[in-house]
Structure 1
C-alpha cells in the first residue's frame, strides 16, 4: 500500500503486456541452457564410461561426438517441452506478481507448516521397512499442497491472528494508520468527497483499492462518451485529492481473484481491514449493513445538511420556470431543493420573497410550497 499518482490506463496496460513476454523469454532461455547443459554433461559422462577400451585419441573423438549428437537430438526432441515449461513458469510468476504480499506470505507459511507436519510423521512412519520410503514422498506432497491451499484460503484469518494493520512510512519510520475510509467508484466519480475532505469534516486515511482504481480506468477507456467522461472525471478528482489533501489517497493492492464483482471485493476488504466504506450506492449500503460493514453515504450526508425551512419563514428565490399548475412558479435553493411558489409565474426571471407554506418530504427528496411574501426578506 502506498501513495502514488494515478497514471492513465493505456500506459500501465502496455507495460504489463510487455513484462509477461519478457519474463517468459528469460525463463525459456535460462531453462533451455540448464537443460542442454545437463544433457551434455550426462552424455559426456556416459560416453566417457563406455569408452575405456579405446586409446586416448579415439576416446576423445567418441566422447565429443556423442556429446554433440546427444545435445542436438535433445534440442529437436525437447523444444516443445521447454516452451511449455517456460510458458507455465511465466504464467505462474505473472500471477505471483499480481498477488498482494500478505497473500504470498500466508501461502508460504501454510506450505512450511505442511512440510513440518509431514516431516514429523515421516520421522515415525518413514522407518517402516516397506511403505516407509513411499509414504515419505506421498506425505510431503499431500501436506505441502494442503498447507499451501489452506494458507492462501485462510489468509484473512491468518492476518487477523497477528492483528495486522496497514502501515505507511513517514519520515523514516512506520506508524499505525488511523481509521481507514475506502472509496468506491460511485463516490469518486461524484466528486463531492473531495470538498468534504478539504473542509476537514472527515477524519482518517482515505484509501482506494486497486480493483476500484482498475474499474475507474476501465470506465475511462469505454467508447461511450458520457461514461468515458465520467471515468476521466473520477481520475482527475483522485489526482487532485492526492495533491491537495494532507494525507493523500492511499492505494491498497489487496485483491480477491476468486471474486468477480467489485462491490463484493470492496465489502470483503472492509471486513478484513475493519474499515469504513464511503459510497453513493444505496444498494451497496444495504448489503453492507447485512454484512456488518460501516457505510458513509454522501447522499445521506447531503440530505442531512440541507437547510431546514419552517412554515412562515421567508426566503429570497429566483423564479426560473413555470410550474404544472396555473400561475405556479418554480425556484431552486442552492442545495437543489425545489420551491413551488403560488402566483409566481408572472415573476419568471425575477427574484422574489417567498413565504414558506408547507414542506413535503418524499423518497425523491424534499419539496417546499410557498407563496409570495407580503414583506421582502
Structure 2
C-alpha cells in the first residue's frame, strides 16, 4: 500500500510539472487568461478522474517493484500505440496547435502509465502467460502463507501455537471465512452463537499478537460465486494464492489433498507432539468406564488420549498400572492399547520379614 501511494505521488508530481511547463510555454505565446484557466481546470479534472477510477477499482494485495515496472512498460506501449490515434482525432476534430497537442500526448501517456502500473500492482500475480505449446507458471518465492479455516479459528489452538513462534509465514483469513464466523455468532442457536463468538475472540487475539502477522484478504476465490460452499471457496482461494490450508476438518483435509493443496491439520500437529509410547512400557491410568469388549476398561490420559485396557473391566474408578501393547494414531485422535496383569498385581511384594524369620530359625 505504501508503494502504491508512492506511485500516486509521482503521478501527481509529473502532472503538475507538465502543467507548469505548458502554462509557461502558453504564456510566452500570448495565450489569454481564460484559456490558461480552462487548461488548468481541464488538466486537474482529468487527473482527479484518473485517480478516482484507480481508487474505486477493487483492491487486491500485491507489493512488488517488478510488477510496477511491468505495468510501466505496458503503459508506455499503449501510449505509443494511442499517439497516432490522438493525432488523427486532432486533425479531424480538435485542430489543436503544436504545443497543446504535445501537452495532450504527454498527459495521455502519464495517465495510461499510471493506470497500468496501479492495476498491475493491485492485482495478484497469479496469472499464467500462455504461449502456444508453452506454459509459464508463477513460482512462489519466500514463505507460503497459511490460510485459516473457520474450524481452526474456533478451535483456538492456533493462537497458542502462534505464540510459540512455530509459524513464520503470515496467517491469512479470507473475507468469506470472517463472514461465516459473524453469521455463526449471530445464530439463534445458543451453541453456535457461543462457538462463533469464541472464533471472533480468537481472531482478535491473533490480530493483537506481535509475534504473528494476520491479514484479512478480500480477494474472491476464482471461479466461485457468493453462494458456493465455504469449503470449495477455501480450496480455490488457497490454491490461487499458493498457500497452505490450516484446518481441523477431516473431510476438508481429504478434499484439499485431492485438489493438490497442502494442508496442515492441527489435530495431526497435536498428536505429533504427544509422548510416544512403545510396546512393553508401563504407565499409570485411571479406568473411567467399561469398554466395548468383555473385560475391557477405558481410561484417559491428561492430554485426552484414550487408553483401552484388557482385564480392567472390574477396575472402574481405580488407578492401575498397565503394560502398553500397541498404539494407534490418526487425524481423528490417538488411542493406546494396554493390558492389566492381574497376577503381577496380586502377587505379594517382599518386605524382608520372611528372610529375617528364616535366619532366626537357622540361628536356633
Alpha-carbon distance in 1 for matches of 2:243, 2:268: 19
Alignment of 1:134-149 (within 5 A): none
- Structure 1 window deviating more from structure 2 (205-214 vs 226-235): it is 205-214
Q: Aligned pair 1:332/2:300, yes or no?
A: yes
Alpha-carbon distance in 2 for matches of 1:340, 1:290: 33
Structure 1 residue aligned with 2:250: 282
Structure 2 residue aligned with 1:309: 277
Q: Aligned pair 1:323/2:299, yes or no?
A: no
- Going from structure 1 to structure 2, the CA distance change for 1:302 and 1:231 (only over 3 Å counts) comes to same
- TM superposition shift of 1:312: 1.6
Alpha-carbon distance in 1 for matches of 2:209, 2:124: 33
Alpha-carbon distance in 2 for matches of 1:231, 1:296: 22
| Structure having greater relative contact order (Cα 8 Å, sep ≥ 6) | 1
Q: Is the 8 A contact 1:311 1:355 kept in 2?
A: yes
- Going from structure 1 to structure 2, the CA distance change for 1:110 and 1:218 (only over 3 Å counts) comes to farther
Structure 2 residue aligned with 1:208: 173
Which residue among 310, 313, 335 is the counterpart of 1:342? 310
Q: Aligned pair 1:297/2:265, yes or no?
A: yes
- Going from structure 1 to structure 2, the CA distance change for 1:121 and 1:277 (only over 3 Å counts) comes to farther
Alignment of 1:92-241 (within 5 A): 96=56, 99-100=59-60, 116=79, 119=82, 122=85, 155-157=123-125, 179-241=144-206
The SS at the match of 2:188 is coil
The SS at the match of 1:320 is strand
Alpha-carbon distance in 2 for matches of 1:248, 1:158: 22
Q: Structure 1, residues 94-114: CA drift from partner, whole Å, max 9, x if none?
A: x94864476xx99x9999789
- TM superposition shift of 1:369: 2.8
- TM superposition shift of 1:220: 1.0
- TM superposition shift of 1:239: 1.8
- TM superposition shift of 1:249: 2.4
Unmatched segments (≥5 aa) in structure 1: 3-91, 130-143, 166-175
Which residue among 196, 220, 227 is the counterpart of 1:255? 220
Alpha-carbon distance in 1 for matches of 2:209, 2:87: 64
- TM superposition shift of 1:320: 0.7
Alpha-carbon distance in 2 for matches of 1:124, 1:291: 52
- Going from structure 1 to structure 2, the CA distance change for 1:291 and 1:96 (only over 3 Å counts) comes to farther
Say how many residue pairs are matched.
255
- TM superposition shift of 1:203: 2.4
Which residue among 328, 347, 351 is the counterpart of 2:319? 351
- TM superposition shift of 1:119: 2.7
The SS at the match of 1:310 is coil
- Going from structure 1 to structure 2, the CA distance change for 1:99 and 1:281 (only over 3 Å counts) comes to same
Q: Is the 8 A contact 1:177 1:205 kept in 2?
A: no
Alpha-carbon distance in 2 for matches of 1:289, 1:362: 16
Q: Structure 1, residues 323-374: CA drift from partner, whole Å, max 9, x if none?
A: 2333322101234332222232332212111112333567854433322243
> Structure 2 length normalisation: TM-score?
0.55
- TM superposition shift of 1:117: 7.8
Q: Is the 8 A contact 1:100 1:255 kept in 2?
A: no
- TM superposition shift of 1:121: 6.5
- Going from structure 1 to structure 2, the CA distance change for 1:322 and 1:287 (only over 3 Å counts) comes to closer
- Going from structure 1 to structure 2, the CA distance change for 1:345 and 1:375 (only over 3 Å counts) comes to closer
